[in-house]
A and B are shown apart, each in its own frame.
Chain A
Amino acid sequence: MSQHALAYVLAAVTLVVGGQTTLKIGMDRVGPIGLERLRDPLRLLSDTVAVTQVWVGLLLYVASSVLWLLALATVPLSVAYPFLGLSYVFIAGVSVIALGEWLTPAQWLGILLVVFGVVAVALG
C-alpha cells in the first residue's frame, strides 16, 4: 500500500467516525422513528432535514466516500476495509480523552486486538 493510499484510507476512517457521531447526535434530536412516523414520510423528512447535525454528518460521509474511492483505486478491498475497525479505536479514544469515560479491561483488550488486526492486514 502506497503512502498516498494509506493517507486516503486513514482520512476516510476518521471522517466516517466524525460523520457517524454527528449523525447520531442529529438523529437523537429527530427522535425515535416508529411506524406512525413512517406513515407520514414527508413530515419525517422535514423533521430530519431541519436538524443541522444531520446535514453536517451527511457532508462528512460524502467527504469520506470520496477519499474512500480514491483509496479503492489502488488498494484491494480485503486490505482497505479492515482499516474501518480503527473507527472503534478512535471512538474509544474520544470517549476517554474528551468525555472522561471509563473503559473496561475487556475494552482495552478489544482495542489491542483491533490495532493488532489492522497491522496484520496492512503487513500481511
Chain B
Amino acid sequence: MSAEPRVGDQNPESYVSVVGRRVEWVIPAYNEAASIKDLISRIDFVSSGESWDYSILVVDDGSVDGTGGLALEQAQLGLPVEVLRNEPNQGLGRTIGRGLRHASERLDGDAVIMTLDADLTQDPAYAPAMIQKVAEGYDVVIASRYRPGAKVEGLSMLRRALSYSASGLVSLIRPIRGVRDYSCGFRAYRASVVSQAFAEVGDDFVSERGFASMLEIAERLRESASFTEVPFVLRYQDKRKASEIRIMPTIGAYFRVLVKVASTQRKVVPVATLGVAVSAIIVGSLAQLLLRLGMVGSADLTVAQTLLFAATSPLVLGGLALYVLSSVLWLGILSRIELSVAYPLGASGYALVVLLAAMSGETVSAARWLGVLSITVGVLLVAWLGVAPVKKVARP
C-alpha cells in the first residue's frame, strides 16, 4: 500500500489553501433537543476560527421534542442555520440523503459537505483536518475509529466488538482503498461527487434506513471517489439520551447493502463461454492424467532418454494433443473475459486432476487432500476477489 499523508502533516509543499471554500454542515437529527443547540454553538466556534464560510442544515427527522424549533432559535441569534423537516420520521438514511441532496444541489463542486451525528459524540473540532484533506484532493474524508490515535469512549465492549467486526468484514469482502471505518457518519464530502451520484441514481443513492446507509453511500461512491480517513475520538459518554440502535436489524442491513451492491456490479459470463471454459478444464485435466500415465516407467532414464521415451509414447502424445486442445479453448476464453474471471473457473481443476489421479491408482493421503482443498480455496480468494475494482487514490 502506498504511503498516505498523515493527519496534520502540513508541510509547505503539501499545504493547499482552504481559504474561501464553502462548507455546509448537514446534521440529521431525531429527538436531539438535549444536544442540538450546543452542537450548533460548537460548530460555530470551530468555524469562526477558520478561513472558510459555513452554513448549517439541520434535517429534523420528525422529532417530537422540538429539535427543529431549538435549531431555529440559533438561527434567530444570527447563526447561518436552516432546518428541513421530515414528517413523519423516516430513518437515518432518508434523512441524510435528503440533506446531502439539498446541499449538493445548491453548492458549487469544490464546496465541502460535512455530515455528523447530532448527539455530540462526534466533535466538530476534527473538521478542519478533514476539510484540509478535501482541499488536498480527496473526495471523501471519514473520521475513523480504526486509525492509529483513534479511540472509542463510553461504549460497551459488545457494541465496540460488533462495530469493529462489521467494518472488518466489509474490509475483507469489499474493501475500499483508504477506508477502515465504513459506518461512521462523521464525514467530509466534495460536493461534486455527491451531486454527481444524485444525478446518476437519484434518491437510490441512499435507500437504507439505518447505519447501513453510511456503508451504502461509501459503496455507491467507490468507483467515482477517492477516500481517506483521519483518526478521531468517539465520545459516546457525551450522548445525552439512550441509544436506540437495534443490533440484529443493523447486521441484516449491512449484508443487504453488500449483496445489493455486489450483485449490480458482478460481471455476467454468458452460458456458452462458461461451457467452453468448463470443457477446457475437463480436457486439460484428462491431458494431465494421460501425460502422467505415459511417463510412468521412465523414472530411471537420463534426460535425453526420458524425452525420447515421451516422444514415442502414444499416451504422452495423446495427452499433449488434449493439452493443446484445452489451451486453444482456454485462449478463446482469455480474449473474451478477464483473467480474474477465468482463473476461478480454473481453480476447480486442482481437485479434478487429483481426483483423476486417485482414480487411476495413486494413493492420496489425507494431508494431501487437505493441501489440495487449501490450494483451491486460496486460488479462489486470490483470483475471484481480484475482480473488485480498486480505485487508485487521485493525488493532485
Instruction: Identify the closest chain A residue to B388 (Cβ).
Output: A104
With known contacts A78-B358, A114-B379, A70–B173 Cβ distance under 8 A: no
CB closest residue in chain B, given A72: B295
Residues from chain A with a CB closer than 8 A to the CB of B316 are 69
Checking A77, A104, A117 against B373 with a beta-carbon cut-off of 8 angstroms, the contacting residue is A117
Of the four ranges (under 10, 10 to 19, 20 to 34, 35 or more), the interface on chain B belongs to 35 or more
Q: Does A27 contact B (CB under 8 A)?
A: yes
- B385 and A106 contacting across the interface, CB-CB below 8 Å: yes
Interface residues of A in 68-92 (CB under 8 A from B): 68-70, 72-74, 76-82, 84-85, 88-89, 92
CB of A13 within 8 Å of the partner chain: no
Residues of A within 8 A of B7 (CB): none
Q: Mark A96-111, 1 if CB is under 8 A from B, else 0.
A: 0000111011110111
**A73 CA to B377 CA in the complex, in Å?**
28
- B320 proximity list for chain A (CB < 8 A): 65
Q: How far is the CA of A77 from the CA of B303 in the complex (A)?
A: 19
When the two chains form their complex, are residues B377 and A110 in contact, meaning their CB atoms are under 8 A apart? yes
User: How many residues belonging to A are interface residues under a CB distance threshold of 8 Å?
Assistant: 51
Distance A121 CA – B377 CA, assembled complex (angstroms): 15
A109-124 at interface with B (beta carbon < 8 Å)? 109-121, 123-124
A32 close to B288 (CB less than 8 A): no
Q: Is B357 a contact of A78 with CB atoms below 8 Å?
A: yes
Closest to A35 in B: B272
Residue B339 at the chain A interface, CB threshold 8 Å: yes
Q: How many whole Å from B318's CB to the nearest CB in chain A?
A: 13
Complex: how many Å from CA A84 to CA B379?
Answer: 10
Q: Which of A78, A88, A109, A120 contacts B354 (CB 8 A)?
A: A78
**What are 16 A-B contacts with C-beta separation under 8 Å?**
A33-B332, A33-B335, A69-B316, A70-B307, A76-B357, A78-B354, A78-B362, A79-B368, A88-B378, A106-B173, A110-B383, A113-B381, A114-B374, A117-B370, A119-B371, A121-B372
